[in-house]
Amino acid sequence: MSMQREAALYAEVVRRNPGEPEFHQAAHEVIHSLRPVLDARPELAEARLVERICEPERQLIFRVPWVDDSGVVRVNRGFRIEFNSALGPYKGGLRFHPSVNLGIVKFLGFEQIFKNALTGLGIGGGKGGSDFDPRGRSDAEVMRFCQSFMTELYRHLGAQTDVPAGDIGVGTREIGYLFGQYRRITNRWEAGVLTGKGLGWGGSAGRPQATGYGAVLFAAEMLRRRGEDLHGQQVLVSGSGNVAVHAAEKAIALGANVVTCSDSGGYVFDEKGLDVELLRQVKEVERGRVADYAERRGASAHYVPDGSVWDVPGEVALPCATQNELTEADARNLVGNGVKAVSEGANMPTTPEAMRLLREAGVAFGPGKAANAGGVATSALEMRQNAGRDPWSFERVERELEAIMRGIHDECAATAERYGAPDDYVLGANVAGFERVADAMLAQGVI
């Protein structure tokens, strides 16, 4: 594929999707990576597979009215992007956050296509959410919002059609309210229609841990390929939500020293290493801030308001907060401090400039569509358990997750080598995911 053809493909994406910079960024990265596979397999270009894969199969936008505890009517906007179902039912989380808009959801859904393909578990790509902010809202308000949201969305869902899960702002509480309303409306106990459910009513052991654990396992595989492991390495984690907490937990279990966490107010550097149980209590139970963690942790924890965790020296970086959090300046700091590996726990947390700098410096870089695929992989395992009404033990789920993450790493590495770019996990992930989806689309005709 010539540079002119690549530029034309990207220009068409921008023209058809104005004002959606996050989606443009995600599409540009993938299109740029596909040049070698399209040169080697011209039949994919002739069938316009790139153009087709960049266009969602269905885009849903809807009004979500609800009543707060004061009796005031509120109105939010709901989204569901059903991007690609060539490999299976649409699968991807729901995000409740004020920043959610069409471009954000589209970027997340686009990434989900390739991430889900890499798992090899027969799931398509989708994503959804709302600009509703659950922070500071009572359980009753969250319930009423979720019930209104599902009242519109339910008609588009089904275990063989579209299976949402959680994401930022959507945990077991929200999934419970959503599932209850789905069951109420449809009169069906269709456990496989939502994942991330509670253990007592169809959920999977290991699902809350899976995304964070998976990012650490991917980092460990990248280091293993270089003859190293995580034991004794100083690890930097950004964020303090579900992914960050469990990434820290898994890294510590593998012998690493995790020294940072963060939220929108600033970051904590803990010289003794993070106390994960205290962090979990502050963030998940009390819904507090990392500043509260630092205050209760004592002298070893230093809270830095408005700072960046990437200013702290470390050998392994796990960005687990949000998109574009790790900038070029941050990457320069990391490289200067001797970072060896970056494994993305969040979706697209590294800017293109930062990614380029890290890769040029020889840092092992695991892109989110590969490194954080553990969450959706375990969601697919939850669907399997639901279909067979056969709950698995935590140990079995963890074994499956380890095998899946090892398989994703090895496929990305092998694909990169096959196309002449050894250790380029970005190219490997994009091309391997694309080939799986493109082959299925080619086999199924122009639809």
Using an 8 Å Cβ cutoff, are 240 and 415 in contact?
Answer: no
Strand, helix or coil for residue 372: coil
Q: Reduced to 3 states, what is the DSSP secondary structure of residue 161?
A: coil
Report DSSP letters for 249-284, one per residue: HHHHHTT-EE-EEEETTEEEEETT---HHHHHIIII
Residue with tokens 């090899």: 120
SS3 content of the chain, % helix, strand, coil (to 5): 50, 15, 30
Burial 369-396 (b: 16+ CB within 10 A, else e): bbbbbbbbbbbbbbbbbbeeeeebeeee
DSSP letter (8 states) at residue 393 = P
Report d(CA 163, CA 293) in Å as an integer: 35
Q: Are the C-beta atoms of residues 365 and 426 closer than 8 Å to each other?
A: yes
* H/E stretch holding 95: strand 90-96
439 by Cβ neighbours in 10 Å (0-12 / 13-18 / 19+) ranks as middle
The Cα–Cα gap between 235 and 230 comes to 9
Q: What is the DSSP string of 106-163?
A: HHHHHHHHHHHHHHTSS-EEEEEEES---TT--HHHHHHHHHHHHHHHGGG-BTTTEE
260 assigned ligand-binding residue: no
Positions marked catalytic: 127
Q: Which amino acid is at 428?
A: G
Distance CA 9, CA 431 (A): 16
Q: According to the annotation, is 91 in a ligand binding site? A: yes
Tokens read off for 383: 């669907």
Which single residue is written with the structure tokens 């398509």?
Answer: 124
Can you tell me which residue has the tokens 């530029």?
A: 7
- Is 379 annotated as contributing to ligand binding? yes
- Give the pairing type, strands 260-263 and 266-270: antiparallel
- Rounded Cα gap, residues 373 and 414, in angstroms: 18
**Number of other residues whose CB lies within 10 A of the CB of residue 159:** 16
- For residue 211, the Cα-to-chain-centroid distance in whole angstroms is 7
**The two structure tokens encoding residue 238:** 């950004």
**166 in a labelled binding site:** yes
Annotated binding site for substrate: 91, 112, 115, 166, 379
Q: Which residues are documented as binding site for NAD(+)?
A: 211, 242
Q: Which residues are annotated as a binding site?
A: 91, 112, 115, 166, 211, 242, 379
